[in-house]
Structure 1
Amino acid sequence: MTNHRSIDLTINTAELEKFCQTQLSLSQNTGLTYNALMTLTSFIACFAQDQQATDHYRAVESTLRTITDKCRQALLQSNSKALLRALRQCNITALAAVHTSSPGSDFYKILQTTIAELDDDEIRLVMLWSENEVKEAKELADKAGDTLDTMDFIAAGIRAEEFYAISDIDRMLNPQS
């Protein structure tokens, strides 16, 4: 027979807010902090299921949501600046870093606002860059494939996150390609 041991955990909204604010101020990576906050939210939801109908639970949930939303906004701002630099420099590695650290559909949101900050020449440059990168990646992957109709991005030395990121840029800026 397994001996299950448990602890009771009490979460005070003021202490939770203080804890989270301390973690936010110490963090050097907003993306990791955002992920940690989402994990904390899931942890509380999972282990406090029997209390979800209480006012105290809703207060804790609201406090955590407010902090998480602030962190998400900071992440969006940080990623937006990084995306602007990546696009202006045609830096696929930096682009992939922003792409992978943007939760859900946030990449497309920041991409739209970032494109609005580029001038016409910069947009044309990014359009050509993304189109050429996607075309070259597909050609290399096609050549590296074992058969005529398969692509092997790994054998071609193409990082998947870079290909996905540049493909998303290309789809948005060159929808006909």
Structure 2
Amino acid sequence: MSRYLLSPDKHYCYHLTSLGIHYTEKDMIPDVAYQVVRGLAWVGVVVCIIAVFILGPLAFVGAGGFALMSFGMTNFSPKIDKYCILISERTVVFDLENDGVLSFAIPEKGAYAYYGDIFTNTLYQKQELLSTLCSLFPSIEFVKIKRLKEQYKHPIYQQEEEKTAE
């Protein structure tokens, strides 16, 4: 119970480049769980093959779902998703005060069409990231906000609403 209540759900690995931020996202499920599932899948495969030799193809009528599931789960492994946040000169970075969240938006592509959030573990890591971003991209705009919803009051979001109203 403490694993699901106190531990994070996802593991993020960030790479800051001159074009933007590339990161991977992986579920925080222990590797032992994947090994157990793969072991049970191989046991299921063996049981299904033995059942076919004893009962013939009719064995797949009752246990067909388990057989197909077992064959599919023999290569069960964690899924790692890859994402990127491209940064241009017109990027706006919303800095959430007293939290480790940075939100990125680019006005020329539409605020809803292109945005991304970065999560840091500590405020110190966020400050290091902000200083690195300032040095790599001196022309981007940094906006401090108290709540994440306040970013929608920024003029880039208002421009988008005016364009859709016309």
TM-score class, shorter-chain normalisation, is: under 0.3
Q: Which has the larger radius of gyration?
A: 2
Using the size of structure 2 for normalisation, the TM-score is: 0.26
> Of the two structures, which has the highest relative contact order with CA contacts closer than 8 Å and spacing of 6 or more?
2
Higher strand share: 2
Using the size of structure 1 for normalisation, the TM-score is: 0.25
Higher helix share: 1
